[in-house]
Amino acid sequence: MADEFKIEVHKRETSNKKSDLKSLRKDEKIPGVFYSFDLQKSVPLYIEKKSFKEAEKSGAKIFKILVGKDKKNVIFKSIQYHPVTDEVLHLDLYGVDMKRVVTVKVAIHLTGTALGVIEEGGVLVQSLNELVVECLPADIPDSVQVDISELNLGDSIKVADITISEKLELKTAEEQTIASVTHAMKEEELTPVVEEDEEFMEEGEEGEEGAEGTEEGAAEDSSKEASKENKENTEG
């Protein structure tokens, strides 16, 4: 069962201008947005960077926050990182109903050492790092374990080959490859990649602009979730 952790959030009065978002980050605050299955509009907010780090260390998947006078159970639906520094730029907090399934991404953790690597000099390639699953909020796992110890040179393991908890429903395409053992590349096949600092800077700027646009998408997602719930209630 997923652990719960209380986290303090603050309503954000500033605009979504790039300069305002940068100012928040400079003050060790992370801009974000709260939206929920039962809300038509999103709520702009921020979290102290220190509080976010404590939440990360807690290992919890479900967080309790106070929105106005209401206590809400939320999950981190999306976390946007700077492409160069890995600084957290923006957070999406999604309000969940503990009795309704949610769609989340869960990290894949490979276990064991492939025979093809130990005995045949192969190279392990992990092609998929996350699985998309549906489950109740309390059943969100920390990760999905995938044993690769039996993989020989040329073998691969696909989503269809793994077994997960009955509490989880896989939404990732079954034909996707999770990991494989391939031949090591010869030296002449290796092509050096030269990346300029200017390119990193451009990507970083785009990342921050993306954070500003997240709230519009969050509001749309919230509206879609609410419409879906109303339809389900009408049909029921």
In a domain, 214, yes or no: no
Same domain, 72 and 126: no
Say if 16 falls within a structural domain.
Answer: yes
Residue 211 lies in a domain: no
Whether residues 4 and 59 share a domain: the answer is yes
What domain count does the chain have? 2
Distance CA(113)–CA(179), nearest Å, equals 12
Report which of residues 63 and 222 the model is more confident about: 63
Contact assessment for residue 154 and residue 118, using Cβ atoms and an 8 Å cutoff: no
pLDDT in tens, 74-129: 999 999 999 999 999 999 999 999 999 999 999 999 999 999 999 999 999 999 99
CA distance 132 to 113: 25
One domain, residues 93 and 108: no
Alpha-helical (H) ranges within the chain are 18-26, 49-58, 115-118, 197-235
**What's the mean pLDDT in 196-224?**
44
State the residue for tokens 């605009």. Answer: 15
CB 65 within 8 A of CB 9: yes
* pLDDT attached to residue 189: 57
Query: Over the stretch 122-159, which tens digit does the pLDDT of each residue have?
Result: 999 999 999 999 999 999 998 999 999 999 999 999 99
Q: Which two tokens stand for residue 38?
A: 């039962």
User: Which of 14, 26, 16 lies closest to 210 in space, CA to CA?
Assistant: 16
* Domain final residue, candidates 75, 97, 119: 97
Which residues does residue 70 pair with via DSSP β-bridges, in sequence order?
A: 67
Which among 184, 199, 220 is the end of a domain? 184
What pLDDT score does 206 carry? 39
Query: What pLDDT is recorded for position 203?
Result: 38
CATH number at residue 159: 2.170.120.20
The reply to whether 91 and 22 lie within a common domain is: yes
Q: What percent of the chain has pLDDT over 90?
A: 59
Taking the complete model, does pTM exceed 0.85, yes or no? no
* Residue 190 included in any domain: no
- Domain stops at, among 184, 210, 230: 184
3-14 pLDDT, tens per residue?
Answer: 578 998 998 876
Task: Name the maximum alpha-carbon separation found in the chain.
Answer: 64
**pLDDT recorded at residue 194:** 55
Residues 6+ apart with CB under 8 A from 202: none
Domain holding 146, by residue range, is 104-184
- Is the Cβ–Cβ distance between 226 and 40 less than 8 Å? yes
Q: Both 20 and 73 in a single domain?
A: yes
What is the mean predicted confidence (pLDDT) over 15-42? 88
176 occurs within a structural domain:
yes
**Same-domain check for residues 67 and 109:** no
Residue 35, domain member (yes or no): yes
pLDDT of residue 41: 87
Domain assignment of residue 229, yes or no: no
Say which residue, 187 or 4, is predicted with more confidence.
4
Three-state secondary structure call for residue 50: helix
* Position 228 in a domain: no
Do 127 and 179 form a contact (C-beta atoms < 8 A)? yes
